[in-house]
Amino acid sequence: MTLLKRVYFVFILILFLLGCGTQLALSGQEREDYLKSIKSYGEYFVKPGVSRDEWKKDWIACGGMADGGFSSDAPSGSPTEILIKASKQKRKNLAACMQFKNYDQLKGFEY
């Protein structure tokens, strides 16, 4: 094997191992715990004593989606700048509505 072929082989091997390493970094229970820790935007609004059904009803009444997420009110196919602006405005509106309903917003996902 020529030197050039060896260098090429080692380079490809390194790329392969790095790619696999990023996939293997979180596996098993660690991966499951991480996935469970991911919250939707709506889950950052809490109110002691409120059931999941009550929270969901309030969230939807404020304009959120049933899964705890939200969708901007920008028309489909809008430019990125418009989508970002509409998304920020929707988050502000959702936050104001939920706070009006006496929910506290947890740190970590402020608008």
Shared-domain flag, residues 2 and 54: no
Contacts with 39 (C-beta within 8 Å, 6 or more apart), sequence order: 68, 108, 109
**According to the model, what pLDDT value does residue 47 have?**
93
The verdict on 33 and 46 lying in the same domain is no
Residues present in the chain in total? 111
Tell me, yes or no, whether 48 and 96 share the same domain: yes
HSE at residue 71, side-chain half, CA atoms within 13 A, is 8
- SS3 call for 7: helix
Are residues 45 and 83 located together in one domain of the fold?
A: yes
72 and 20 both lie in a single domain: no
Residue 103: count other Cβ atoms within 10 Å of its Cβ: 21
Q: Give the model's pLDDT for residue 5.
A: 74
Which residue ranges in the chain fall short of pLDDT 50?
21
So what's the pLDDT on residue 1? 61
Number of domains the chain is built from: 2
Give the separation between CA 104 and CA 87, rounded to whole angstroms.
20
Assess whether 2 and 44 both reside in one domain.
no
- pLDDT at position 19, please? 59
Q: Are residues 6 and 30 in the same domain?
A: yes
pLDDT of residue 57: 95
In a shared domain, residues 66 and 101: yes
Residue 7 structural domain? 1-38
Residues 73 and 98 in one domain: yes
